Amino acid sequence: MQIGYVIWGPYVVAKVLPHDRYVVRDVDNCQITQIPYNGIIESKNMRLWRSPEFVQNREWTSHSDDEDDSVN
The pLDDT tens digits of the residues spanning 35-69 come to 888 899 999 988 887 777 766 776 654 444 445 55
Q: Is residue 15 part of a domain?
A: yes
In this predicted structure, the answer to whether residue 21 has a pLDDT above a threshold of 60 is yes
Domain-embedded: residue 68: no
- Domain-located, residue 4: no
pLDDT score of 60: 53
2 assigned to some structural domain = no
Q: Is the model's pTM score more than 0.75?
A: no
Domain of residue 40 covers: 11-48
Spatial separation of the C-alpha atoms in residues 4 and 23, rounded to whole Å:
25
Could you tell me which residues come within 8 angstroms of residue 8 by beta carbon, excluding any fewer than 6 positions away? 32
Query: Is 22 part of any domain?
Result: yes
